[in-house]
Amino acid sequence: MMLAIYHLYPDLLNLYGDRGNIIAFRRRCEWRGIPVQVREINLGERIDFSDADFLFFGGGSDREQDLMAEDLADRKDNLRKAFEDGLVTLAICGGYQLLGRYYRTLSGQVIPGLNLLDFYTLAGTTRLIGNVAVEIPLPGRMVRVSGFENHSGQTFLGEIKPFGRVLSGHGNNGSDATEGVRYKNVFCSYMHGPLLPKNPALTDYFIQLALERRGRDGFLAPLDNGFEEAANRVMLSRLKVL
């Protein structure tokens, strides 16, 4: 079966190599003989998410977030349906912020979010920048992932679970050790990096969820992750969490 990757606003939301998440998802499917099709969705393009298997939003600056907030609002019902239906979604940083209640910039401008997930974001005066290590619960095990964050927004969660726990770095707001959010199969994170190429266990988990959602066997043939794991160990030990 073919997996459909939908990439929202690829020209506007692509900070720090976020597109690498699409490449990693795609390649790890193809290496196992799972065909993949990538569809880029730009401002104004009407689409239905019911055919999507993996939806990706990258990060963007305040200006870009403002540009797309209205366009995104038109997709709200469609997205809500897809999220409830278990669509595997990854939203990074600026894309993440837009799924919550609102994002208040430093100048006081309130950019409304889709209000699909229970959190809000306030711009702070210091940017939260640097490498980050996060512990993430996957079924039956914990994985330690590494990424790179650069945001002024500080996100505060309501009735929603975080994606993981910060071991080193700032995460959602620099004060409560939460990182990102998870709702059903929607994963949001501040981790650029890009996240998936650096952390193959996470990529494979997303592929597995996407296959199982279509009633397929989620077993994935193991791949050689030697380079990725070595790089991850270097970063985790540099951050003193290994």
- Give the helix/strand (H/E) hosting 77: helix 76-84
Site for ligand GLN in 139-198 (CB under 6 A): 150-153
Nearer to ligand GLN by Cβ, of 15 and 188: the residue is: 15
Is 93 among the residues that bind ligand GLN (CB under 6 A)?
yes
Active site residue 151: no
Rule CB under 6 A: choose which of 59, 100, 169, 193 binds ligand GLN.
59
Intra-chain end-to-end CA distance of the chain, in Å: 39
Annotated active-site residue in 7, 29, 93, 151: 93
* Closest by CA position to 146, among listed 132, 162, 166, 125: 132
- Going across the sheet that includes 54-57, the strands are 36-41, 3-8, 54-57, 88-92, 186-189, 181-183
Q: How many chain residues bind ligand GLN (CB under 6 A)?
A: 12
What distance in Å separates the CA atoms of residue 37 and residue 35, rounded to the nearest whole number?
Answer: 7
Site for ligand GLN in 195-224 (CB under 6 A): none
Is 12 among the residues that bind ligand GLN (CB under 6 A)?
no
What distance in Å separates the CA atoms of residue 100 and residue 84, rounded to the nearest whole number?
Answer: 15
Active site residue 188: no
Nearer to ligand GLN by Cβ, of 155 and 208: the residue is: 155
What distance in Å separates the CA atoms of residue 179 and residue 133, rounded to the nearest whole number?
Answer: 10
Nearer to ligand GLN by Cβ, of 61 and 131: the residue is: 61
Which stretches of the chain bind ligand GLN, using CB under 6 A?
15, 59-62, 65, 93-94, 150-153
**Residues designated catalytic:** 93, 192
